[in-house]
Amino acid sequence: MKLWVLRHGEAVPHGSRVHDSERELTERGREEVLHSAALLMGQPLTAIYASPYLRAQQTAQLVRETLGFEPEIRTVDWLTPDSDSDKVAEQLVSVSDVLLVSHNPLVGNLLSYLQHGAGYPPEKVSTAGLAEIKGDELLVGSMTLDSIKHP
């Protein structure tokens, strides 16, 4: 089983006029995502799952377009910033070779949880950071982080 976890690209700062879920990618954020998307070329992706937040949707769409990936993006509410890693892991039991597009703190927490189990510090993942994690099957605390690449 292999998963790729992509944190969204740089987004406009959180402000009082825009709700967190409506923050858009900046131009720099789009460039970051294009760099990370190029790293996915030739990978055997079966699906792209993304948070419903605008910046994650924009990130997933840029990846989809860059790769020429035909299936629609699967928007799921279990990839929002404060989702619990164990709830995400439950959703991933029967999937493989998928890309998850989400946010911190979930991204860092999920990567740590899949490798070590509960109670470990989160992995550090910058905007548009792309992690590749694998294992024989999805067993919390037993997966191996192959790499985290930052744009």
pLDDT tens per residue across span 17-73: 778 999 999 999 999 999 999 999 999 999 999 999 999 999 999 999 999 999 999
Domain ranges of the chain: 2-149
The rounded radius of gyration (Å) of the Cα atoms in the chain is: 14
pLDDT tens per residue across span 111-143: 999 999 999 999 999 999 999 999 988 889 999
Cβ neighbour number for residue 136 with a 10 Å cutoff: 9
Domain 2-149 has CATH 3.40.50.300: no
**115, 118, 120, 122 alpha-carbon torsion, rounded to 10°:** 70
The gap between the terminal CA atoms of the chain, to the nearest Å, is: 25
What is the pTM (predicted TM-score) of this model?
Answer: 0.96
Query: The tokens of 2 are what?
Result: 């292999």
Dihedral over Cα of 99, 102, 105, 106: its sign: negative
- The rounded distance, in Å, linking the Cα atoms of 105 and 62 is 22
